[in-house]
Amino acid sequence: MRFSSTSDKDPSTATFVEEPKSTRGINTMSRVVKRKIQKIKPVVEFNKSGRPHGKAAIEMQSYIGVLARTRVPLVDKK
């Protein structure tokens, strides 16, 4: 938000000017989609406790988040 004044000396004449909202934008993870189309499957490594780790695990988790945001509708039962 910012305020614009017709007169710099008189703050009582200031008017509100609404700036356009900046949004985050959609993330599609195009490099993951390209690999999926080319049927290239990265290997996800797991540690001793069974948790995924490494670069492939991070991309997998991010892509799952993208799928959840784009495919699962948010419904308010109230």
Q: How many domains does the chain have?
A: 1
Residue range(s) defining the domain that contains residue 38:
28-73
Residue 51, in any domain of the structure: yes
Q: Is residue 34 part of a domain?
A: yes
Please report whether residue 17 resides in a domain. Answer: no
Which whole number is the average pLDDT over 49-55? Answer: 91
In angstroms, what CA-CA distances link 55 with 6, 10, 20, 43, 58?
54, 57, 36, 10, 5
On whether residue 58 sits in a domain, the answer given is: yes
> Is 4 among the domain residues?
no
Q: How confident is the model at residue 48 (pLDDT cuts 50, 70, 90)?
A: very high
- Reported as a pLDDT band with limits 50, 70 and 90, residue 50 is very high
Assess if residue 18 is contained within a domain. no
Average pLDDT over residues 14-25: 66
Residue 52 lies in a domain: yes
Q: Which residue has the tokens 């995924």?
A: 52
In this predicted structure, what is the pLDDT of residue 30?
Answer: 83
Higher-pLDDT residue of 36 and 48 is 48
More reliable by pLDDT, 43 or 25: 43
